Chain A
Amino acid sequence: DSGVTQTPKHLITATGQRVTLRCSPRSGDLSVYWYQQSLDQGLQFLIQYYNGEERAKGNILERFSAQQFPDLHSELNLSSLELGDSALYFCASSAAGVENSPLHFGNGTRLTVT
């Protein structure tokens, strides 16, 4: 158990809808990362937060947004969903800078858009 909790585990929704994915980092970790894994693709970096502030952004679509709250949990909001958004979304947390701390991954949220 990595200590990172993601909810829900599975999500099935229709095109055009909006969903929210939630992540609770390991106790004490200040950084949260979001990744997308589509079919036959690797882990694509979406966005990273540190202690409530956005610190790095990847190829995140404008329809997607995220935030990290004062209690350090994070939410990834996906709107105007398309079939191609179906993927496994991972959250990871780390204690400090990347030169010192590995990422600890949650079990992922599998999103299916129909």
Chain B
Amino acid sequence: ILNVEQSPQSLHVQEGDSTNFTCSFPSSNFYALHWYRWETAKSPEALFVMTLNGDEKKKGRISATLNTKEGYSYLYIKGSQPEDSATYLCASNSGGYQKVTFGTGTKLQVIP
């Protein structure tokens, strides 16, 4: 992996369903992995910053895990709500300590 990659590109789920997305990043020279939520017509807002292999973070119904050895992170949303509809971005600075590189995001739409 040379770049930060996210999958799927987009996702439609029913209200109440749980879902998850994947972020893959270069595992060499790893310092941190960030997750952001980006709502339409707004700017990205930070969800989590993770640094250690095996890290797990949780905020309400949203949680994330980190595997630095294989270079991936998962974001989970439990019981999706319409207000969870947004683009979820991950970012890593594997390309350089201060070079925070973003993936293209996973666009989630939660259908009421």
Contacts and interface: CB of A to CB of B under 8 A. Distances in A.
A101 B99 contact: no
Contacts, number: 67
Q: Is the contact region of chain A dominated by helix, strand, or loop, or is it mixed?
A: loop
A88 to B, nearest CB: 10
Contacts of A35: 102
Interface residues of B, number: 24
Interface string B80-104: 0000000001010100111111111
A108 B43 CA distance: 7
A31 B105 CA distance: 24
A80 B43 CA distance: 28
Interface string B24-45: 0000000110101000001111
Interface string A1-45: 010000000000000000000000000000101010000011101
B100 A98 contact: yes
Interface stretch (A50-58, A62-70, A71-79): A50-58
A55 B46 contact: no
B13 interface: no
Contact of A43 (B45, B96, B102): B102
Given A2-B45, A99-B32, A45 B100 contact: yes
Contacts of A43: 44, 89, 102
Interface of A: 2, 31, 33, 35, 41-43, 45, 48, 50, 55-58, 90, 97-108
